[in-house]
Amino acid sequence: MFDSLNALPSDAILRLIAEHANDARSNTVDLGVGVYRTEDGETPVLKSVKAAERQVLETQTTKTYLGSGGDPEFNALIQKLTFGDEVAAERVMTLQAPGGSGALRVAAGVISRARENATVWHSDPTWANHVPLLAGAGLTLKPYPYYDAEARTIRFEQMLETLSQAPEGDIVLLHGCCHNPTGMDLSREQWQAVAELLASRKLLPFVDLAYQGFAEGIEEDAYGIRLLAGMVPEMVVATSCSKNFALYRDRVGSLSIVTSNAKTAGIVRSQAHNLVRTMYSMPPDHGAAVVRTILGDAEQRANWVNEVKEMRERLQAMRTGLVAKLRDKAPDHDFSHIERANGMFCFVGISEEQVEQLKKDCGVYMVGSSRINVAGITPGNVDYLAESIASVL
């Protein structure tokens, strides 16, 4: 049977990781893999997570099944973290999912059941896994303009114009904050315009919130979601705890679907739980128990918020530092968009040929589109990185 299969190309990021790992040069810079790193290049377990893990270990009395929806207390706390007080809890179906990817896939399954041949509009560009995750569930994907690679700004007027022509009932996929891969986020005024358009055109908002806390703050980064929740009768939100809790391998996320009333929320819950049962049965418990412990205790939550602030400020400092160095090394080129971006990712704004030259000549690794993970920049390599970029311009 399996002799009929053909090998598929490996993931571009995974290839980049392997290439970097096999590079024997001592001054290499890895800007590819999408994890947070400290100035020492480590991806640590957060102190707040360590403390919560100790508490879970000491107090947990069973490993019995939780059910397809996961940990109910985790779901309630994440729902509150996401929506605040902007929507009545009985209108929202929230379930724990195996990471943001799991949440996206379950959401796609529910949407496919609710509307056959549903169309999802996504930003151009968007996270590379959005398209295969959603299309794999039978959804049709169409792009809307988002990033102007030459001007290095959001193509907001073109975005609105395209979405204004989307048929009623279509779904619009939005990045809640820290747009991946561009790092360019909507302003509050732009969120208002988008919300008004979606409400008037009866389009369903589908928000991917993977980096809450990495742009402006935990509460501030939920602005777009909470604005939409107060203006539309239905919406979908997928969240991830991979970045802001650094629980990458524990696969912790959530799916929330806002409905027009409590009865519909119950129906949606039954559909979502049925899908979960046929895919992975139920999500893993440990990471969600840790998040529940942190969010459910005022002191532990405050410690976590401070750690997220430290991560956010380090990313911002590295953006500012790189732009300052590039201003010195390449004064004829404008890289100010790197400093205007939010979160872990952005485009440098160089060609694929220049990216390849950086890898070959300097040992600087980034995706061919010139998307970089800012967390790979440190005070110890920012000078070399700026010099390397300047050398290929």
- Interhelix angle for 286-295 vs 298-329, to 10°? 100
User: What pLDDT was estimated at residue 291?
Assistant: 98
Among 90, 86, 392, smallest CA distance to 222 is for 86
State yes or no: is 383 an active-site residue: no
User: What pLDDT was estimated at residue 51?
Assistant: 97
State yes or no: is 297 an active-site residue: no
**Number of domains present in the structure of the chain:** 2
Decide if 1 is inside a domain.
Answer: no
232-281 per-position pLDDT tens digit:
999 999 999 999 999 999 999 999 999 999 999 999 999 999 999 999 99
Residue 143 shares a structural domain with residue 76: yes
CA dist 88 and 108 (Å) reads 23
11-42 per-position pLDDT tens digit:
778 888 888 889 889 899 999 878 999 999 89
Residue 128 shares a structural domain with residue 33: no
Decide if 375 is inside a domain.
Answer: yes
Residue 386 shares a structural domain with residue 285: no
Residues pairing with 92 in the sheet: 258
What is the per-residue DSSP string for 280-328? TSS--SHHHHHHHHHHTSHHHHHHHHHHHHHHHHHHHHHHHHHHHHHHH
CA dist 316 and 338 (Å) reads 10
Residue 139 shares a structural domain with residue 174: yes
CA dist 104 and 116 (Å) reads 17
What phi and psi values does residue 208 have, to the nearest 5 degrees?
-100, 110
323-367 per-position pLDDT tens digit:
999 999 999 999 999 999 999 999 999 999 999 999 999 999 999
Q: What is the pLDDT of the chain when averaged over all its residues?
A: 96
198 token code pair: 């979606």
Q: Which residues contact 86 (CB under 8 A, 6 or more apart)?
A: 226, 227, 229, 230
Residue 225 shares a structural domain with residue 348: no
State the pairing for strand pair 153-154/171-175.
Answer: unpaired
User: What pLDDT was estimated at residue 236?
Assistant: 98
Q: Is 140 helix (H, G, I), strand (E, B) or coil?
A: strand
42-91 per-position pLDDT tens digit:
999 999 999 999 999 999 999 999 999 999 999 999 999 999 998 989 99
**What size, in residues, is the chain?**
393
Decide if 57 is inside a domain.
Answer: no
Residue of 30, 121, 127, 329 with catalytic role:
127
User: What pLDDT was estimated at residue 21?
Assistant: 86
Contact 170, 120 (CB under 8 A): yes
Residue 147 shares a structural domain with residue 291: yes
User: What pLDDT was estimated at residue 86?
Assistant: 87
CA dist 181 and 16 (Å) reads 16
State yes or no: is 243 an active-site residue: yes
Residue 291 shares a structural domain with residue 334: no
Q: Is the dihedral of CA 244, 248, 252, 257 positive or negative?
A: positive
Decide if 118 is inside a domain.
Answer: yes
**Domain with 335 in it: what CATH number?**
3.90.1150.10
User: What pLDDT was estimated at residue 15?
Assistant: 85
The domain of 348 spans 9-44+313-392
- Can you tell me the mean pLDDT for 92-97? 98
Q: Is the dihedral of CA 325, 328, 331, 336 positive or negative?
A: positive
Residue 282 shares a structural domain with residue 322: no
CA-to-CA dists, residue 238 to 59, 114, 241, angstroms: 29, 17, 11
* Cβ-based neighbour number of residue 165 at 10 Å: 9
User: What pLDDT was estimated at residue 164?
Assistant: 97
Residue of 185, 208, 221, 285 with catalytic role:
208
Cα 199 to chain centroid distance, Å, stands at 24
Decide if 51 is inside a domain.
Answer: no
190-215 per-position pLDDT tens digit:
999 999 999 999 999 999 999 999 99
Residue of 121, 191, 243, 329 with catalytic role:
243
120-132 per-position pLDDT tens digit:
999 999 999 999 9
Among 60, 92, 45, smallest CA distance to 289 is for 60
- Can you tell me the mean pLDDT for 223-236? 97
**Domain with 85 in it: what CATH number?**
3.40.640.10
Contact 345, 373 (CB under 8 A): yes
Split at pLDDT 50, 70, 90, the class of 230 is: very high
Residue 281 shares a structural domain with residue 167: yes
Among 92, 384, 97, 103, smallest CA distance to 250 is for 97
